[in-house]
Chain A
Amino acid sequence: MILALRELRRRPGRFATAGVILTLIAVLLMFLGGLLDGLIQASTGAVRAQDADVIVYSDNAQASLARSRIEPEVRETIELLSAVTEVGGLGVVQLGARVPDAGPRDLAGVALFGYELAPTGVPDTPADGEVYADEVLRADGVEAGMELLLGPARSPVTVIGFVSDTSFNGQGALWASPATWRDVLDANRPDARVSGEVFQALVVRGDAEPDDLAAMIDRITAEYHTASATRSLSVPDAVNAIPGVEEQQGTFNQIIGVTIVIALVVIALFFSLITVERAGLYGVLKALGARSSTIFAGLVAQAVVVTLIASSIAAALTIALDAALPPGSLPLAVSADRIITSVLLLLVAAVVGCSFSLRRVLRIDPASAIGSSS
């Protein structure tokens, strides 16, 4: 082990090429992971933030807020359930917002939510005409106290504060009262207008487990409102039901998986070649009493150290890339969790890749090594 680490210190150039390849692969892993996290965060923040057990959509809405409509009588039925403690309406409309001092064609994409039960990190419902803005909108020049004009009708809303991680479909969220949402929707999207006390979805808190609560709600609405049955989902299920989320996760994870296999093959290739090169040296070490396990541990230690160095450089490069990208250009979200996960995966690949050399180390015969040396 000490010999292996000493070799790394004295002849780092020998490991430089493998280190460069692993660095590139680590950057790839962290970049792919960051892209996945960024895409998911930007699509799902508003749903993830819901402080609820269940989100109730209309049955035929495919868990899309924009297409869901919950009538007041359906809400009343749900409120009658003993396991339900609180029910709040939720609605959204996606529009362009005119920001003061921005160019006349330079609009910020926003998702205006009307809510009754405050999501996590969002204060209680503001007064009509006021909104809390997601902090991603700061990149568009939005500031507290500013009046934004929404949609073609130029519906005015005033920003009174900021919240974080509540983006929806890649747009920064604005959190408003139900009346404000209804007015803005009515003025700007006549084809999506909702009347009276209709909401697009209900946010439900209760005493039962979320899945049980969802089943109860769907059962009772199917029984009493055949034409307006509901589809209720726990918050994690509602996040996964957002179109594209599961597909994005599946595709990116497969690509990341194959990239890990490539890292494994590269490490296996490199250390099997190193082992072949040092067969004579290992024979001498064995003749002097070194065990195969000690020699193999040295190889693993080298692989782990090279991988750690490559991962550190890759992490720095990925963070630098993230910092260099202009806000809003790529949905990249580099997080400590993602970097640590990538490093752990690479370390596993390094150890497994090294194990391909184990057989070769075990097969080295000290006697023949001494013979060939002499």
Chain B
Amino acid sequence: MFLALAEMRRAKVRFGLLIGAIALLVFLILFQQSLQNGLLTSFVGGIRNQDAPVLVYSVDGQRTVQGSVITPDLEALVRGTDGVGEVGRWSQGTFTVVTGGETRMTGGGGPGEDAVDASIIGFDTEGLGTPSDVVDGRLPTAAGEAIASDADAATGFAVGDVIRVLPGGFEIEIVGLARDVQLNASPTMYVPYDTYLDVIAAVNPDAGTPLPSVLTVRPADGVSDAEVSTAINDRSLELDALPRETAADETPGVAQVRQSFQIIFLLYALVIPCVTGLFFLIITFQKAGALTLLRAIGAPAHRLVSALMIQAALIVTAGFALGTLLYLPVSQQRLGGIPLRFETAAVVLWAGVLTVLALGSALISARRVLAIDPVEATTGTGVGR
């Protein structure tokens, strides 16, 4: 212990550089973990965190809510499927809205108002396609009311705020906030279905009556989500019924985001043991003479190995702590429309993984230390020569 610490004190720059490198790697890994989770939540949180167990798309929609259109004959097929308990309508569109209004107003945008893209979801049945975790206020019940995602409260979508949809100036008042219900990485509002139709009519006077994008389904008692999905899909090749979690995971782009980040994480995770291993290998080579001498005067091999492993553990701990400190303020930020979070589980997981990898790589140097023959002190040879 004394040897390990004394050496680190005397070679501050050398050990400092290694700690800095590990800290940067840890920071990048944790930041990207937050980015991945934030990206996925803001993409499909609105699907994952609503209360309909099954979503039915049209095959043409390719598992995107906005691309899907359920025609009346398809809707009739779903309603007539065995095992279907309750059916609701769900429609979604992306609109330009202005925030910044605290009271209802008429006319054009005023000072302090910001135009942003927002997703508006219309639902016709409470408890079937509505946010499952309301954290403030309530679900919308009257025309012109909405519940928004808590992630957007600070950007003009808090309870009491009035949002105007452009063009047309249709006004929506936020009456509640729900946890993680964004869709398409944009501010998201859930409104009663009639309000959704009013928004469409106000924005595009040429528009016909929109058909529902998706049907929300609750299975009958005793029927599982998977069973009802299969039963619905068997009714028509035009229907694509999916349990809620599958619908979120199968949304286009989600698998690609996951795969991309997995490759990135793998590469970063490989770099850390390589850097640590390289460092201790070179250090061991450099100290070959001293280590051989220490062995010759009676220092047991396990003490030298312990010193090495203590150094590796201290460096990884310091690097991880520094990296986490760098990550902490960044994890409180928003990246465009994506809110980042401090991912405690990821911090714990990566602490374990990186410690094991770094100590494992230091074991290569430990093997060399164990292989030192004290007799070599008298012959001038030593480890690595």
What's the nearest-Cβ distance from chain A to residue B268, in Å?
7
Are A151 and B60 in contact, CB atoms less than 8 angstroms apart? Answer: yes
Contacts of A356 in B (CB 8 A): 17
Q: In the bound complex, do residue A21 and residue B256 qualify as a contact, i.e. CB atoms below 8 Å apart?
A: no
* A60 CB, min distance to chain B CBs, angstroms: 4
* Distance between Cα atoms of A25 and B270 in the complex (Å): 10
Q: Kindly provide the distance from the CB of A332 to the nearest chain B CB, expressed in whole angstroms.
A: 8
Interface residues of A in 305-334 (CB under 8 A from B): 329-331
Instruction: Give the contact-size bracket for chain A.
Output: 35 or more
B77 proximal to A (CB < 8 A): no
- A residues 335-356 touching B (CB-CB < 8 Å): 356
For chain B, residues 246 to 285, give those with C-beta under 8 angstroms from any C-beta of chain A. 252-253, 256, 259-260, 263-264, 267-268, 270-271, 274-275, 277-279, 281-283, 285
- Distance in angstroms between the alpha carbons of A18 and B166 in the assembled complex: 57
Contact A188-B24, Cβ < 8 Å, known A67-B96, A198-B206 = no
Residues of A within 8 A of B328 (CB): none
User: Do the beta carbons of B67 and A96 come within 8 Å of each other?
Assistant: yes
Contact B335 A247 (CB under 8 A): yes
A107 contacts the other chain (CB 8 A): yes
| Given contact pairs A17-B281, A191-B208, A331 touches B256 in the complex (Cβ within 8 A) | yes
Interface stretch, picked from B27-35, B48-56, B131-139, B346-354, is B27-35
Bound-state CA distance A191–B31 (Å) is 40
Q: Flag whether B58 is at the interface (Cβ < 8 A).
A: yes
Residue A35, interface by CB 8 Å: yes
Q: Does B237 contact A (CB under 8 A)?
A: yes
Q: Is the CB of A259 within 8 A of B28?
A: yes
Residue from A95, A194, A251 in contact with B60 in the complex, judged by beta carbons closer than 8 Å:
A95
Q: B207 an interface residue at 8 Å Cβ cutoff?
A: yes
Whether A268 sits at the interface, judged by CB under 8 Å, is yes
- Is B264 a contact of A17 with CB atoms below 8 Å? no
A166 contacts partner chain B, Cβ-Cβ < 8 Å: no
B100 near A: Cβ within 8 Å?
A: no
Contact of B283 among A35, A227, A273 (CB under 8 A): A273
Is A330 touching B256 in the complex (CB atoms < 8 A)? yes
B93 to chain A, nearest CB (A): 7
- Of residues 23 through 55 on chain A, the ones whose CB sits less than 8 Å from some CB of chain B are 24-25, 27-28, 31-32, 35
A270 proximity list for chain B (CB < 8 A): 278, 282
- Expressed in whole angstroms, the minimum distance between the Cβ of B155 and any Cβ of chain A is 15
14 pairs across A/B with beta carbons < 8 Å? A18-B278, A28-B271, A32-B264, A105-B237, A105-B240, A152-B71, A190-B207, A191-B200, A191-B208, A191-B210, A193-B204, A255-B28, A269-B279, A270-B282
